[in-house]
Amino acid sequence: MRDLKTVSQLEVFRNRKRILANPLPFHSENFKKHGDTFRVKVAPGKPIVFTKDPEIIKQVLQKQQKKFQKSPLQTKDLAKYIGHGLLTAEGSHWRAQRRMIQPAFHKKKLAGLLGTMQLAIKEELERLEANKTLDVFPLMGDLAFQVVARALFSHSDIRERMSKLQYITEANQKMLIREMRQPYLVWWFKLSGQIKKHLKYSEDSRKLLNDIIEERIGLKREKDDLLDMLLKATYEDGTHMAREQLIDEVLILFTAGHETTANALSFTLFLLATHPEIQEKVYEEIKEHVRPDMDIMDWITKVPLTQQCIEEAMRLYPPVYVIDRMAKEDVDIADYHFSKGTLLLMSVYELHRHSDFWKDPQTFIPERFAKDRLKEMGSYYYPFGAGPRMCIGNSFALYEMIMTMVEILSAYKITSLSQTVELNPLISLKPKEVKLKFTNRNYV
């Protein structure tokens, strides 16, 4: 068995301010120094291992996934704010929820939601002002949030309540990040009442969602949306989801569903703005294959380059930039021994830029995701995770992103004053801002 090189607790403490602001450069330095897998000492008796080794990642997420579980970072710390839904649940509880909810995200079911999603996208994009430079990141955040809201609730008269829910979601995430990156201050967060304040935010969000659900039940008529599917869904014994569990799942859909999509859209727009020759190819593809009278699902399949640009953006800037798992027992993988309780942090960000597996890994090359090449990269590309816990909403997110890119690029030419984007890794990988100029193509 190989020994793991170690980053000392002292080194972590010396770099604490850098890690709090953005841990990615610190991780990258240690991967260069120690190789694809190394240990980090944060506290006594808590082994933490970072890896970008594709074999280890495949074993943990797929082949030996039963020997691992999600870490307390999600099952306890995140769960206290958003409940025990698919993202934070474990074991038999997770399996029961996954079996119950999976059919709602079947491609045939999603096809019926595309019109609703497209309407929400069009309405949000009406806020785009031509010939002005603006930060698209908050706009994409609002857009993705409203798409989830419309797909869940199928009506648009809840914008004010959705704005409140969006504020709570983002505020609680910032609090959680502070707890995760400054564990030595958790005592102060508790004593000062900060955690209590954010838990009250969570209670407010749950009441808000419960009111919306009550209104739906009171209508006594069916709606072809995700909430209707969740209300109708049953466990194997024929029972329905309890109300508290339903609220947990809806909160998860909002938290995970809007944020990662907003990030990916923002990075994709930035990359196309800084690669005008590729942007023009995408525009020509859209102009040739997308018509208003076509079925949405039909034209979604006819814009492969548009999809490849999104996939390449998620390679360079994966929304879920690190995946955590904890060993439930002693396990040997790739000549390493991981003892029970070891926390494995798998860096998707580093793997997606690994020069052993990607040619010109820092370069935006959408064509690398052409259909005939997809098989070869399956072991080193994880934008939606992998294995049984692969993101349940991956198709929903991809359809939403393709529709949004088509709406924007068919109407505007995008340019950027900057060739770089500053990263802000929180629960997901966000940009600090993405300032772009949108020129109406009627005047190009």
Share of the chain above pLDDT 70, in %: 98
What tens digit of pLDDT does each residue of 159-189 get?
A: 788 888 889 988 998 899 888 878 788 899 9
pTM here is 0.92
What tens digit of pLDDT does each residue of 125-157 get?
A: 998 888 889 999 999 999 998 999 889 887 656
Regarding the domain delimited by 6-443, which CATH topology (the fold level of the hierarchy) does it fall under? Answer: Cytochrome p450 (1.10.630)
Cβ proximity of 382 and 318 under 8 Å: yes
CA dist 288 and 126 (Å) reads 24
Mean of pLDDT over the chain: 91
Residue 264 above 90 pLDDT? yes
Place of tokens 């209508």: 219
Q: What is the DSSP letter of 384?
A: T
Strand arrangement of the beta sheet that strand 412-416 belongs to:
132-135, 435-440, 412-416
CA dist 116 and 154 (Å) reads 7
Cβ neighbours, 10 Å, residue 304:
15
CA dist 84 and 185 (Å) reads 25
CA dist 320 and 351 (Å) reads 12
Question: What is the DSSP secondary-structure string of 48-59?
Answer: EEEE--HHHHHI
Strand arrangement of the beta sheet that strand 322-327 belongs to:
6-7, 37-41, 47-51, 343-347, 322-327, 68-69
CA dist 354 and 359 (Å) reads 9
Cβ proximity of 169 and 205 under 8 Å: yes
**Strand ranges inside 293-406, DSSP E:** 322-327, 331-333, 336-338, 343-347
Question: What is the DSSP secondary-structure string of 52-78?
Answer: --HHHHHIIIIITGGGEE--HIIIIII
Q: Give the start-to-end residue ranges of the domains of the chain.
A: 6-443
Q: How confident is the model at residue 443 (pLDDT cuts 50, 70, 90)?
A: very low
